[in-house]
Chain A
Amino acid sequence: QKEVEQDPGPLSVPEGAIVSLNCTYSNSAFQYFMWYRQYSRKGPELLMYTYSSGNKEDGRFTAQVDKSSKYISLFIRDSQPSDSATYLCAMSGSWGKLQFGAGTQVVVTP
């Protein structure tokens, strides 16, 4: 079983729709959960991070962590074409050594 599973997509949504992304994981030692956005041939850009379980909201973005189910989610409200990118989940027992998901390619069509 892979440590972090993420559907690679692509996920295509119309502008204004809600984008729903998720990852599952197997390692119960993970405490830090992050979402990064990556544009083609660029570095991962931090979007959201959460320590342990719970929800966190930042503007149009909401991150959720359910440690009992080993499941994390990212929601993007009112999606824009500029949100088109690959979204990577990442998690770890500390800030540094991250386990990444495969990334989900999101396409927001005008």
Chain B
Amino acid sequence: EPEVTQTPSHQVTQMGQEVILHCVPISNHLYFYWYRQILGQKVEFLVSFYNNEISEKSEIFDDQFSVERPDGSNFTLKIRSTKLEDSAMYFCASTSDSPLHFGNGTRLTVT
């Protein structure tokens, strides 16, 4: 069965550094998402992306965050200047017209 693939599985960075999280959605899917889960908390919606633009974003997704689909297969989340509170699991998800399929996430640790 097709899968959403995320890399790296774990990223450690220092506060203030930029990070880019990578995702390869399922190939025939058209809608792409980023969610995050702070340890011990709910999975939270960050942003949705369709037709090469953001379709919706949460209040968490401020100017420090950006998303991009640089080619036909990759979907990235960039955090420009990381903060300690950005430490979380970040999940990519995709769909066409069905429930979301999630990747296994990138664990981001900001020190």
Contact B107 A43 (CB under 8 A): no
CB distance from B105 to the nearest CB of A (A): 5
CB distance from A73 to the nearest CB of B (A): 18
* The one of B44, B48, B91, B102 that contacts A96, using a Cβ cutoff of 8 Å: B48
For residue A88, CB closer than 8 A to chain B, the reply is yes
Interface residues on A, range: 20 to 34
What is the total of A-B residue contacts with beta carbons within 8 Å? 54
Interface of B is mostly: strand
Closest to A47 in B: B99
Contact A96 B100 (CB under 8 A): yes
Contact B89 A95 (CB under 8 A): no
B-side interface residues toward A, CB under 8 Å? 4, 6, 31, 33, 35, 41-45, 48, 56, 89, 91, 95, 97-105, 107
Given contacts A46-B101, A90-B43, 7 further A-B contacts (CB under 8 A): A32-B99, A43-B103, A95-B31, A98-B35, A98-B100, A100-B43, A102-B41
